[in-house]
Amino acid sequence: MDPSGTKQKASFCAEITDQDRVDFSNISGDLNPLHNSQSYAKEYGFQKPVLHGAFLCGLVSKMAGMYLPGEECLLHSIKINFTKPVQTPIKVSISAKIIFKGFVEFS
């Protein structure tokens, strides 16, 4: 948390493994074979199973609650566009900047 309110940007990296993807499937109950089956994913044009978009939303939540704006944050809404599939294992970088009070842009 930044008690001075001066922090304007933040970023962190996350390594997401195949096991993280499988665990998320089991925890969420979304057992769609696109997320869990290599052969099914290949049948639909993907080299490997696709990570759940909700997993990535969780990383946005981590940014908001732990980095920017920080511990006093309560998300009211998220608008997110998935521009390409994410496949594990992968290392992702989550970045955010304050655009104006109450509005944070993530990338």
Over the stretch 23-77, which tens digit does the pLDDT of each residue have?
Answer: 999 999 999 999 999 999 999 999 999 999 999 999 999 999 999 888 888 888 8
The pLDDT of residue 2: 45
Kindly list the distances between the CA atom of residue 54 and the CA atoms of 9, 77, 86, 87, in Å, as whole numbers in the listed order.
23, 14, 12, 14
| pTM to 2 decimal places | 0.85
pLDDT-wise least confident of 46-55, 73-82, 87-96: 73-82
